[in-house]
Amino acid sequence: MNYQIRFTTAEEAVKVIKSGDHIHLSSVASAPQCLIKAMCERGAAKEFRDVHVHHLHTEGPAPYADPQFEGIFQLDSFFVGGNVRKVTQSGYADYIPIFLSETQRLYRSGAVACDVAMIQVSAPDKHGYVSLGTSVDATLAAVETADHVIAVVNKHVPRAFGDAMIHVSKIDTFVQDDTPLEEAHFTEPNATETAIGKHCAALIEDGATLQMGIGAIPNAVLAQLGGHRNLGIHTEMFADGVLPLVEKGVINGEAKNIDKGKMVSTFLMGSQKVYDFIDDNPGVLMMDVGYTNDPYVIAKNDRVTAINSALQVDLTGQVCADSLGTKFYSGVGGQIDFVYGASLSKGGKAIIAMPSVTNKGVSKIAPVLTPGAGVVTTRNHIHWFVTEHGAVDLYGKTLQERARLIISVADPSAQEELDKAAFERFGTHHHYIKGYMTK
């Protein structure tokens, strides 16, 4: 069959937006910048009001969140990325607290409306299929539920397989724009991050299936895994750090129970190398976030090892990962999806890893969380906790045992104060727990 698609301009395509509409933007590297620009030009001309914008983390500019558009656009994001952090903290934009696994359900259940989905796709193949490329996440659900779907066809969007493949019949309007995708580059791990990476890598067994978040610590962990065998990937995202391990054959997915031999992810964030790697690669499945982040799907693989970071941890093992006090910094994301999934997996390990101090030297381990801080991973969910000073297993430990173990991997300069706080909280017998320094 021959699928004829007609292209229009970005300016023409966004004329479908009307006052009160809810707009979904595809995320991370796939944010459709030409449509965003055209939409904001209409907003600046005051052609509509009260348009709600939804997305996960996006790379690149986010002009609709600017205070000048108050009353015209309202950003209600599912994750607070760096490009909208200040406007969210100042109240011009807002955040919907939600597990990453359930972002798709917001649309599919109707809890959040989707009038217009603005996405970016690869060029159509001979069968009439395009690919969502680097971001499936909640975008597939938006495509399924939106009244109107506008797709930017971009030659730089990789042709990724899995749930990323959608038929052109699902799309109402096409715009051509070959602007290269936004790239994310990560700094080389410093000494602290390398030490954390070594402690985490020591916990990873051959045959493990890995999930890691974003940034320097995951890259530091991956850099330590060259001697491992038969690792698999089932994650919400991956970046450049996995590529050398795939080339060496360390990551091959042979030990996975489901999606054997395949790397499974829902979005990507990295350099052009990563985008090239997934292009036409049957070894990578880009899947709906309702699949990648479902704890019960995650747990089907054995030895799932999930490594996530934190902003602050208290002496009972409560993990704050979304906010600095009352100021939202990021979001719930997929941390609890994978912490819980890994803990249900046979031989699985859920790891929270972070530097023991901030860049300013303030202890990130605190007697109690900063007032207003959000608990993302509860004290009931935490298992392994890692800093540059060691790794401790908190699972099955009492509050007093936990406090001793957590203090043992705190920065030495903070240990006395933390010990005093634990003493005040738990009493004199806190000091007599045996074996608390075991790592």
Q: Contact 34/159 with Cβ under 8 angstroms?
A: no
Cα separation of 126 and 113, whole Å? 33
Q: Is 279 exposed, middle or buried (0-12, 13-18, 19+ CB in 10 A)?
A: middle
* Ranges of H-type helices in 238-310: 243-248, 272-278, 289-292, 295-298
Chain centroid to CA 174: 28
- Name residue 177's amino acid: D
3-state SS class at 73: strand
Question: Given the DSSP bridges, would you call strands 327-328 and 173-176 parallel, antiparallel or unpaired?
Answer: unpaired
Question: Given the DSSP bridges, would you call strands 129-131 and 165-167 parallel, antiparallel or unpaired?
Answer: antiparallel
3-state SS class at 421: helix
Read off the DSSP letter of residue 82.
Answer: G
Read off the DSSP letter of residue 262.
Answer: -
Question: Given the DSSP bridges, would you call strands 312-314 and 365-366 parallel, antiparallel or unpaired?
Answer: parallel
Element (H, E) at 141: helix 139-145
The answer to whether residue 236 is catalytic is: yes
Q: Where are the beta strands (DSSP E) in 228-348?
A: 232-233, 237-238, 263-265, 267-268, 284-286, 304-308, 312-314, 319-320, 323-324, 327-328
Which of 41, 236, 417, 424 is flagged as catalytic?
236
Q: Contact 275/189 with Cβ under 8 angstroms?
A: no
Q: Is 379 exposed, middle or buried (0-12, 13-18, 19+ CB in 10 A)?
A: middle
Q: Known catalytic residues? A: 236
